[in-house]
Structure 1
């Protein structure tokens, strides 16, 4: 667990630290184009592969299945997905439906293939419970990303092509490492059970809707911003996500340390357990979000070079969306433990629909900042519905008045950044941070004591 935490933490921090490099070497248009390509790949991978990587994980964990059969099915479906992606690129080149994807078609295909195969092999390794190898593969991939980006962007000045090559190479290193570490040639199996193949795909195919819904919540705004404002503005908007990624580090570490699925084993005490987890998680997210909003402009001045500095305008609302999104994910874990997948799917789909509707209207009216606001609104709605249902399911006790007050305070913080009051602005931001610290003082003390106890043992 510690190595996996290190892997997740290091990958996010390294990605964050590379932002000054990207924004100093790439133009806003180039960064926006790259972001559009990768965002599209993340949509097409679960759709064309029918979420086969999830099926590979689930059925490899099942001891009654032969891992060789499961891997063979996963690779076969993945190759089919790669062929379909190739056909889509050819068709798009002919009809020019999305001209922007005709600029780097080979790079897009290479990214698609390496990302998909890396995911399938990683999930297969997890299914074999080779967690150590998964963590090492992730660390090697992160190191490759850093070194190759510096080499290709700074030394050789390859521009956006170098950015693509670095990303694809990082995935390729994961593939190569896991291939040799797991000795995958031992699992080569040409003949597989058609019944098992159908069963795995029946399991994984329904997950497409959930993946698409989360993709819409996380990425659809990039397309709307590109449509209304252009690729250059999308580049600035996309880089703004790097500041909220700091908040995501806490989310990752927390999710590694606490598992909400334990509710299944706690019987009548489940409500108390979930209440404790939720309160601590909410406290950490709110306080860290408040501090990041306060330092939004200084962070932007350090990280974002040239025309990317305006990304600070979008970061506060994106930070708010991460708070609501993380709380929604935590509550989603609860409903997974309670085997209520229908509620998860319904709320996710509702959030996705709201995000599209609000984004279309707000981006048209206010520009890219409208996308950040719509993302916050959609996640807030999902959080509110899931919290209401969670209180019915396990009698979770939360201080809703205090929490809503804190969210309003974060919103006020975000608005104050646009006041242009210079020193007065900083004072107001600091006062709000202190107020939130006082509001969550008991929870902060509890977390501090828990951390000290953990370190001592």
Structure 2
């Protein structure tokens, strides 16, 4: 039993490391490009691009029926049906291009936005590239091509980073160049996965897919469309509300503020891709609840120290990352970091729920959080301005976690929720202290947490030492 249990953790750790090796360094490069964006592009240009990108994150799952999520779940559990699954889901993606084209054409013809009319071709190509890259990534995970998925991430980043340097600094093509560079960052890795996975062997243009399989796929993916809408509302609606209530310049400032919390999302994203695989594979196995509980506690402790570190150095990081006109964005970072903490915890539970095909709860939680977010955004924006929007985002992320945790409490057996809440309370105290520029007392919550979780920390250090010694002996 111990060997089997150890294998669970080893596989999760190995997959996380593989993904991290290929993705972390490339994501760090993107992080350091933020000063380039904010120095070359105006706040209006950057604000427009950010609105388009967040809009694509909403449009792709709606128009493609969110089949990217389905292709992972069903290829994991029904490998013998891979060709049928891939054929049907790919066609759904292709069919989605037509309504995307029609929407953009309507916007351009009606003169709703001069920006959209000018950049409509770039937006459509971006939509296609982003959609197929996301699809190929999920397919790679579903058929256990983790290393290929990792390589594709590196390739995409090289083209995106190189494209930004060339188009923004050398050619000086401004916003158009920025679009082209980011399109290449999506398109090239999708092409790589297409050929490296021999996609044509998994796809049949004329093959029939039985109705029961279609029904199962769509029944699974349909609630996840609402999930994506909910997350989009929770993460992106504030930009639209800020644009409407204050102006696009303020939206650009807020978009830049998100860049520091996005580092948390990048690091967590390395783990969650591996966790999605482990949570799905382990669901039907014995004592999976204990496995889930241990990973959940460990994840929250790790996130606490990481976010605490970012809070301590928010201003120095902002002075390095943001151009002078954007430096004021630092004040909005603390509550966005708190939101990222809640979002990560909620994101941890989602693969557990989808492993048992409970996509309705995942959808319900995100829609609930999204509605709360919109209402609080409007109320708090008119009360305390942009800061109110960041508070609303943090609170709605907590609501999403609460709904999911309540539904999955029978699966995540034995979690001491009070200990997790203690971590969150400590971070909240640090957030308030940071906003009010009270730096020294931020160390007090860190010391308290270290005392409360000293046994966990000692165990992590012991396991780390054993792992390092084992690797040294192997070499």
Alignment of 1:182-331 (within 5 A): 182-186=197-201, 189-193=204-208, 195=210, 198-199=214-215, 200-255=217-272, 259-261=278-280, 264-265=283-284, 267=286, 269-331=287-349
Alignment partners' CA distance in 2, 1:306 and 1:7: 32
Q: How does 1:330-349 map to 2 (within 5 A)?
A: 330-349=348-367
Distance 2:196 2:280 in 1: 31
CA distance in 1, matches of 2:201, 2:273: 31
1:104-146 Cα offsets, whole Å, 9 max, x none, are 1111111101111222233333444333222211111111111
Say whether the 8 Å CA contact 1:29–1:232 is kept in structure 2: yes
**Residues 347 and 301 (structure 1), Cα distance of their counterparts in 2 relative to 1, 3 Å cut:** same
Answering whether residue 31 of structure 2 is matched by residue 12 of structure 1, we say no
Q: Is the 8 A contact 1:152 1:158 kept in 2?
A: yes
SS in 2 for 1:129: coil
Which residue of the other structure, out of 138, 145, 170, is the alignment partner of 1:155? 170
1:301 to partner: Cα distance: 0.4
TM-score by length of 2: 0.86
1:30 aligns with 2:45: yes
Find the counterpart in structure 2 of residue 433 from structure 1.
446
Aligned partners of 1:385 and 1:358: how far apart in 2? Answer: 18
Residue 384 of structure 2 is aligned to residue 366 of structure 1: yes
TM-score by length of 1: 0.90
Query: Partners of 2:222 and 2:200 in 1: how far apart?
Result: 27
CA contact (8 A) 1:126 1:134 kept: yes
- Secondary structure of 1:318 counterpart: helix
**Equivalent in the alignment of 2:405:** 387
**Structure 1 stretches lacking a partner, 5+ long:** none
What is the CA distance between 1:13 and its match in structure 2? Answer: 1.9
- The CA RMSD over aligned residues, in Å, is 2.6
| 1:408 aligned to which of 419, 422, 425 | 425
From 119, 124, 128, the equivalent of 1:104 is: 119
After superposition, the Cα gap between the structure-2 partners of 1:338 and 1:59, relative to the gap in structure 1 and judged at 3 Å, is closer
| Mapping for residues 434-449 of structure 1, pairs under 5 Å | 434-449=447-462
Aligned residue in 2 for 1:122: 137
1:178 aligned partner: 193
Q: Are the equivalent residues in 1 in contact too, given 2:136–2:193 (CA < 8 A)?
A: yes
Cα deviation, 1:248-281, whole Å, max 9, x if unaligned, reads 24423444665445763554x4454333222211
1 CA distance for matches of 2:29 and 2:249?
24
Indicate if the aligned counterparts of 2:223 and 2:363 stay in contact, CA closer than 8 A.
Answer: no
Measure how far apart 1:445 and its partner are: 2.2
SS of the aligned residue for 1:205 comes to helix
Distance 1:408 1:4, change over 3 A: closer
Q: Distance in 2 between matches of 1:120 and 1:192?
A: 20
Q: Give the distance between the partners of 2:429 and 2:223, measured in 1 at CA.
A: 40
Deviation of 1:362 after TM superposition, in Å, equals 1.3
Distance 2:73 2:352 in 1: 19
CA positional deviation for 1:204: 3.0
- Is the 1:10–1:142 contact (alpha carbons within 8 Å) kept by the matching residues of 2? no
Question: For 1:45 and 1:339, how far apart are their aligned partners in 2?
Answer: 21
SS where residue 104 of structure 1 aligns? helix
SS at match of 2:439: helix
Shift of 1:224: 1.2
Structure 2, unaligned runs of 5 or more? 1-14, 471-475
Question: Is 1:63 matched with 2:83?
Answer: no
Q: Which residue of 2 aligns with 1:350?
A: 368
Alignment-derived partner of residue 54 in structure 2: 39
Task: Give the conservation status (yes or no) of the 8 Å contact 1:217–1:352.
Answer: yes
With over 3 angstroms needed to count, the CA separation of the structure-2 counterparts of 1:255 and 1:76, relative to structure 1, is closer
Are residue 455 (structure 1) and residue 473 (structure 2) matched? no
SS in 2 for 1:417: helix
CA pair 47-236 structure 1, distance change in 2 beyond 3 A: same
Deviation at 1:43, TM superposition (A): 0.7
CA 1:266–1:344 in structure 2 vs 1: closer, same or farther (change >3 Å)? Answer: same
What is the distance in 2 between the residues matched to 1:283 and 1:72? 42
Is the contact made by 1:237 and 1:314 (CA closer than 8 Å) also made in structure 2?
Answer: yes
